[in-house]
Structure 1
Amino acid sequence: MASKLVQLQNKAAVASQFVTKHGCAYYKQLLEQNKQYIQEPATVEKCSELSKRLFYTRLASIPGRYESFWKEVDLVKQKLKNRQDLKVEEVGVGVLFALECYAWSCVGEIVGRGFTLTGYYV
């Protein structure tokens, strides 16, 4: 156990040295590549304005997303009406989607209980 701790400390030291040597250069390169997104001057007022723009832009996009959602629901209804015309691939994707939703529900329950595996999921 102690040898694994020493190995972990050595790896952490190597990673720290790498970040120390190359971190500043990476930071500068990243800023240079994305300088068109940087707002000058970076004031509190400008940041507040940009966050409000983002919020209200997202808010304005809700009707379009709402419409797209109902188009998708109508498409699923049409597919269910014509079940005999479904391909195996479409059924497989639907089943995998349902399993994924169920799995996320189970994970959410486990997380909500504080990562304990008790109850009806075990």
Structure 2
Amino acid sequence: MAARLHQLRSKAAQASEFVAKNGCAYYKELLEKNKQYIVQPPSVEKCQELSKQLFYTRLASIPGRYESFWKEIDGLRHIWRNKKDLKVEEASIAALFGLELYAWSCVGEIVGRGFTFTGYYV
């Protein structure tokens, strides 16, 4: 256990050294590549304006997402009506997808409780 801790510390030190040497250059390169997305001059007012634009753009996209949702529901209804024609592969994929959703829900509950299985800190 002590050997692993020493190994972990040395790798963390190497990573820290790498970031210290190359972090500034990476930052400058990243800003240079994406300078078309940087608003000049940076100001609080411009940030507020951009956040409002994002909010109302998302709000305006709701009708399209609503239509897409109901198309998906109609597709599921069609599959359910014609379940006799359903292949084993399609049914197994749907079952695996449902199982994955259930597993993510369980993981979310565990994380929400602070990584405890009973809900209480022991």
Aligned-residue offset at 1:96: 1.2
Greater shift after overlay, 4-13 or 97-106? Answer: 4-13
Q: Does residue 115 of structure 1 match 2:115? A: yes
Which ranges in structure 2 are unaligned for 5 or more consecutive residues? none
Structure 2: distance between partners of 1:87 and 1:24? 55
The match for 1:74 is 74
The Cα shift of 1:28 comes to 1.0
Return the alpha-carbon distance in structure 1 between the equivalents of residues 4 and 75 of structure 2.
56
Q: Distance in 2 between matches of 1:53 and 1:113?
A: 36
Query: Aligned residue for 1:65?
Result: 65
Q: Structure 1 unaligned runs (5+)?
A: none
Describe the superposition over 1:19-49 as per-residue Cα deviations: whole angstroms up to 9, x where unpaired: 1111111111111111111111111100110
Give how far 1:13 is off: 1.6
Number of equivalenced pairs: 119
Q: What is the Cα deviation at residue 116 of structure 1?
A: 2.1
Deviates more, 1:78-87 or 1:44-53: 78-87
Letter in 1 for 2:104: W
Which SS does the other structure have where 2:78 is aligned? helix
* Bigger relative contact order (CA 8 A; separation at least 6): 1
**Structure 1 position 5, deviation (Å):** 3.2
Root-mean-square deviation over aligned CA pairs: 1.7
- TM-score (normalizing by structure 1): 0.87
- Structure 2 distance, partners of 1:84, 1:53, is 48
Question: 2:25 is matched with which residue?
Answer: 25
Letter in 2 for 1:30: L
TM-score (norm 2): 0.87
